[in-house]
Amino acid sequence: MADRLFTFASQNDFGGFTNEYYTRFENATPQQVNGAWAAARESRNGDYDFGDRSSGGGSDKRRNRTSMADAPDSIGGWIKEGMATQYKDNAGMAPHEFQDMGSAIELLTDKEGRVKNMRNILGDIAKGIGMQILLNFKQQNDLLIQMNENTGILGTLSRAFREEITEAYPEAIKLGISFSVLTDSVTQLVTDSGKFKLLGQTTIEEMALASKFADSMTQYASMAGAFEDISMGVYDMTQATEKAGMDALQLGLNSRKVVGDLGKELSLLNQYGFKNGVEGLTKMVEKTIEFRMNMSDITGIAEKVWSPEGALELVSNLQVLGGAVGDLNDPIKLMYMATNDIEGLQDAIIGASKSLVTYNNEQGRFEVTGANLRRAKEMAKEFGMEMGDLTRTAVAAMERTQAATDLMAQGLVFKDDEDKEFLTNLAQMKDGRMVIEVPQSLQDQLQTDSVALSEMSQDQTNILLSQRDAFKEMSMKDIARDQVSLIENINRDVSYITASMRIQTGILVNDFARSKGFDVNKIAGETDALVRQIQPKIDADLAYDIINKKFPNANMQHQLTASGEVNTRSSVAMESGGASKTAEAPKETTTNLNITNKYTSEPNLDSYRRNNEMSNARITKVDTGDYLNNYLTQYLIKK
């Protein structure tokens, strides 16, 4: 079998090679197929070991080397192996859907390594367009079934929606999103809504792009229901989450975590008052990360101060504990914040928690000790929080306060407060100070491998803030491309070209077939009309006639009921419904039949011979008057 693979490779027949490879390795991934293709093309003597079925192919021989003996023996081999380490596994990719770097280089460059012109590139793609046409037909068929069955959208409306999804697909694969993941995400979104929620190409493309701030596009699409609950459609969702993700990057926070937590907390917008809607909630989510808080703790306090009695009780109890600091000492303000400014309530809790923390000079860290532990326990009880959650927030609050003090003491100039927040989020406690550890790529510019905020110069500040400025200038597409290697981006770009041609060629083939008289819609209408004509003629008489012609000696006939009627399915159902309450005893009838079998599909059964051999069949029929039992017949085969 390996010889056939090498034959296809030597003939530059990628389609034949792929089919042969999947025949041998059923569970192989597209990356493994492409890796094996590159290896077979590189091997001159046919000595490459493609591995076994259990390993999924030859990828283990190329990527999991265990000794120098397995290493490539040429510069070209090393380059190809190095590129193979840069691939990203893209979920749901079908064979021939995604192109890897090896095939991309062959497609984009000639034998001398020069980049081909566009005509030659498209011409080479066209050579393998046959497999791409088949893939397009399969993708469209899968989409039709998924759309019509899962969403209930049919007819012209379904066709128009499917066209929008298909048109958005090339942009999706440019982001590493397969056709199956794209369609799963969109159809699941529509299904979950319970409505014919139609999406245009632009909205679907924006969904794919914004999903780079989520774990997957499927997970991102599941957020649409929560956004709809706060009166925001899918396109509005993409814009809000893109802004949240971009803002998080510019503050030095994990954008994927911010967007994910935002999606989980959206329902709060319908329960509490926020000054700036989604933007205000986003700020709260960012602070829960910065100050190591739980959003449920804040909403729990809002519930406590919702009523005048609850607000007065909390303030009086905190006054006894010495924790009624700032707004927490004003019951009217607390009630206002619960209904109009829950972000302010979060700030009040952070401010009160800082009074619990002291600095340990010997250990060089912030901590809650001694009598403050008792205060922390009682305050947490009043807030309805776990003590550990409150003290964790208190320590984080003091660290950030220290960072702000250090930056202010240096007299540094900042454009806005977000600049300070960015530097603070980069810093961490080290040897008792808030320190930024400098990446190696910036060490030459900063002249150090770490810089304390209390010693940072204006030049060092400007260099670090230039990274934030770079984030500001990036578009969503820039961010998506930066998430993977350059090699992976090249793979995706070539896959985009192939997908675009696949779709357009599929349209041309479909139009060509219609021009030659092959109209699927017309054929479907004719077969439906044919079924309507034949259906009334298909009855028990026709069935018995067919059986008796197939087995002349069977002589099968209608069984009559006690009333003398033909025992058909409908008459049995009527008799069962009108039967008397006193059931008759079951009647068993036995018929011996001689059946001649000239040809059988069971050559291994001794009772059936291929050469006109006779076999006896004993048919036992038990008639209990019950609909199902009347049709329960046992065939006991005797030699």
Q: How far is CA 317 from the centre of its chain?
A: 49
Condensed to tens digits (0 to 9), the pLDDT of residues 573-623 reads 333 344 444 444 445 444 444 444 443 444 444 433 433 333 344 444 444
Confidence band of 93 (pLDDT split at 50, 70, 90): low
Place of tokens 């000239």: 598
For residue range 209-227, what is the model confidence (pLDDT) as tens digits? 999 999 899 999 999 999 9
- pLDDT, the chain, mean: 76
pLDDT band for position 281 (50/70/90)? Answer: very high
Report pLDDT for 512. 66
Residue 108 CB neighbour total at 10 angstroms: 18
Give percent of the chain with pLDDT exceeding 90: 41
Highest mean pLDDT among 60-64, 89-93, 295-299: 295-299
| Residues 518, 544: Cα–Cα separation, whole Å | 37
CA distance 406 to 433: 9
Section 102-121 average pLDDT: 65
Q: What is the pLDDT of residue 95?
A: 65
pLDDT, residue 148, reads 85
| Highest averaged pLDDT of the listed ranges 30-39, 95-104, 271-280 | 271-280
* Average pLDDT for 178-198: 91
The pLDDT, as a whole number, for residue 623 is 44
The predicted pLDDT at position 369 comes to 92
Does the pLDDT at position 514 exceed 80?
A: no
Closest CA relative to residue 93, chosen from 60, 56, 139 = 139
Reported confidence tier of residue 75, pLDDT bands at 50, 70, 90: very low
pLDDT digits (tens, 9 = 90+) for 446-491: 999 999 999 999 999 999 999 999 988 888 888 888 887 776 777 7
Per-residue confidence (pLDDT) for residue 89, from 0 to 100:
57
Which pLDDT score, from 0 to 100, does residue 321 have?
A: 86
563 or 630, greater pLDDT: 563
pLDDT (0 to 100) of residue 496: 83
Residue 94 has pLDDT above 90, yes or no: no
In terms of phi and psi (left: phi > 0; alpha: psi -120 to 50; beta: otherwise), the region of 155 is: left
* Structural tokens at position 184: 């799963």
pLDDT at 395: 96
Predicted confidence band of residue 519 (pLDDT cuts 50, 70, 90)? low
Average pLDDT of the residues in 230-259 = 94
The pLDDT of residue 368 is 94
pLDDT over 90 at 356, yes or no = yes
* pLDDT value of position 614: 39
3-state secondary structure of 619: strand
Residues of the chain with pLDDT > 70, as a percent, come to 65
Mean pLDDT to the nearest integer, 414-434: 93
Distance (Å, whole) CA 422 – CA 253? 8
Using the predicted structure, report yes or no on whether residue 207 has a pLDDT greater than 90: yes
Per-residue pLDDT at 620: 42
| Cα gap 27→429, rounded to integer Å | 49
Higher pLDDT, 512 or 126: 512
What is the mean predicted confidence (pLDDT) over 248-255? 93
User: 384-388: which pairs have CB atoms within 8 A and are 24 or more residues apart?
Assistant: 384/297, 384/300, 384/301, 384/304, 385/294, 385/297, 385/300
pLDDT band at 507 (very low <50, low <70, confident <90, very high): confident
CA distances from 45 to 10, 57, 81 (A): 11, 19, 19
pLDDT score of 128: 60
- Model confidence at 231, in pLDDT bands (50, 70, 90)? very high
Give the pLDDT score at 493: 80
Distances (CA, A) of 134 to 25, 162, 503: 20, 18, 11
How far is 227 from 499, CA to CA, in rounded Å? 31
Band (pLDDT 50/70/90 cuts) for residue 504 is confident
The pTM of this model reads: 0.66
Residue-level pLDDT at 21: 80
- Residue 297 above 90 pLDDT? yes
Mean pLDDT of the region 610-639: 39
Query: Which has more pLDDT, 136 or 561?
Result: 136
pLDDT: which is higher, 123 or 21: 21
Is pLDDT larger for residue 572 or for residue 177? Answer: 177
Distance CA 143, CA 55 (A): 31
